[in-house]
Structure 1
Amino acid sequence: IIEKHKKFPTKNEIKQQLKTFIGDLEQIPSKYSSIKINGKRAYKLVRQGKNFDMPKRKIKIKEFKLKKIINERKAVFKINCSSGTYVRTVVEDLAKILGTVGHLTSLRRIGFGKLDKKLISLDSLISFMHIDKLIKVLKPVDYIFEGVKKINIKQTDAKLLLDGNFFYVNSESETITKDIPIKFVIASYKNKIIAIGKINDGSFYPQTVMNLNIRKN
């Protein structure tokens, strides 16, 4: 225990302060996070006794609600926030504004992007392995990438990506403006995602490569 406080905010006090978190904000993540500082994880630098500042990051909170107060020390919240938001830090900031201290005891993701319907646990998924219900709950990989920039590539370019190389986006494979830098692009071959990467200076650079065996096709 790092710090204790005798103040326990009321339900009305909590609800009033939750409103101040809605919208575009700047957040300073905890030093015990996995964010890299000059190539090294922040939490490792802390353990080494290093002194450093955490960079601010822009986040957006669309919804922040108090769902239930369990007791004077514990409550349940629901938050709808942008990717990259450190919810643990949000909770600590809320406690600070309320004039007390607090921390996150558990965190459960109930949706992500289009996956905002009922999610199932891994145990439930395993129980569906040998029945038709499995087909109904599974979604294709590209389901979550709807609206993301995509390029259809040739087999030769796909092979380059599978080997970890970049390729030049030529007029034949181009479906977007190649001269404009894009940080998040999907490269597909025969309607199968080969890699997720970025386009810079007219070339596609893979960041995540799918393990697909296309060499025999």
Structure 2
Amino acid sequence: MARKGRDVTGWLVIDKPAGPTSTAVVNKVRWALGAKKAGHAGTLDPEATGVLAVALGDATKTVPYITDALKAYAFTVRLGQATNTDDAEGEVIAESDLRPTDEQIKEALHAFVGDIMQVPPQFSAVKIDGERAYKRARDGEEMEIAARPLWVEELVMTGRPDADHVTLELTCGKGGYVRAIARDLGRALGCHGHVTKLRRIWSGPFDAADGLSLDDVERMAKSPELDAHIQPLEVGLADLPELKATPEGAARLRNGNPGMVFASDVEYGEEAWASYEGRAVAVGIYKAGELHPVRVFHG
């Protein structure tokens, strides 16, 4: 059965509060806009706050480009305690009276910058033999989770509210777990650690400062006022080079065929997106004057 609703396309940036799941936020936005199709770029844990970019309609096809983009987090680590979830929601499983100095913390951060290997938390959505790790962890099972590569652009200490807490800012690529950073930093310092507060400040082109609260969404639901906050689909393609399609090329691309684009400095085999009269037509691979489409937009 076809899903009912309006054909709304674009991005709505939400400043997620602590409490609801990312899926619950998407469902609220879909209801408020009467949208047929919606998804999000990058899950936030229920207790985390900040940028949750909700993709609508054809913009859902650009979600991978936001997921792959750099993102920044501000977070607080509680020193001296490890928990089974690596955040404040879990049970304390180890404690230490050791408290590192500010200088020791700053020195330890160097090891977490650049290309690092990170083991996701036991309570995470990583799949182990086809099952989510958190489901096994809830049953008390301890798993061997393989380390995976992560690019960390920056990790800096921003404050020390007291001996037990340190505030940090992280800028990283796809697939990073802030809870794992807190856990591993605590281990490196010999004192344990877990996250107590987490906020995503920005994600790719989207900024928390521009986000709507869920109260805003409720208040403006089903009104043109909420529609006015929808950002164009093209914003989600900001990290890809743009090519201008010829009129004939645009028509061919919309039908899923390679289409002619005007010459540019895009390299052969490079991923790019084609526009016609300012609107995105397709994302694809550039080859010898043509874009070979991978994703086509209908707008």
Tell me the TM-score normalised to structure 1 length: 0.65
Quote how far apart the aligned CAs of 1:126 are: 2.6
Tell me what 1:26 maps to.
Answer: 117
**In angstroms, what is the RMSD of aligned CA positions?**
4.1
1:143 aligns with 2:249: no
The whole-number CA distance in structure 2 between the counterparts of 1:28 and 1:168 is 42
In structure 2, the gaps of 5 or more residues are: 1-90, 286-290
The whole-number CA distance in structure 2 between the counterparts of 1:124 and 1:40 is 32
In structure 1, the gaps of 5 or more residues are: 161-166
Tell me what 1:56 maps to.
Answer: 147
Residue pair 1:155, 1:189 contacting (<8 A) in 2 also: no
With over 3 angstroms needed to count, the CA separation of the structure-2 counterparts of 1:141 and 1:72, relative to structure 1, is same
Runs of 4+ in structure 1 over 6 Å off: 173-178, 187-190
2:216 to 126, 132, 136: 126
Q: Percent identity?
A: 26
| 1:117-152 Cα distance to aligned partner (Å, 9 max, x none) | x623423993896999x96x7643322422315676
When you count strand as a share of all residues, which structure comes out higher?
Answer: 2
Give the SS at the match of 1:106. Answer: strand
1:107 aligns with 2:198: yes
Residue pair 1:67, 1:76 contacting (<8 A) in 2 also: yes
With over 3 angstroms needed to count, the CA separation of the structure-2 counterparts of 1:157 and 1:50, relative to structure 1, is farther
Tell me what 1:163 maps to.
Answer: none
Q: Using CA pairs below 8 Å that are at least 6 residues apart, which structure has the higher relative contact order?
A: 2
The whole-number CA distance in structure 1 between the counterparts of 2:275 and 2:141 is 44
Alignment: residue pair count = 194
The whole-number CA distance in structure 1 between the counterparts of 2:140 and 2:160 is 38
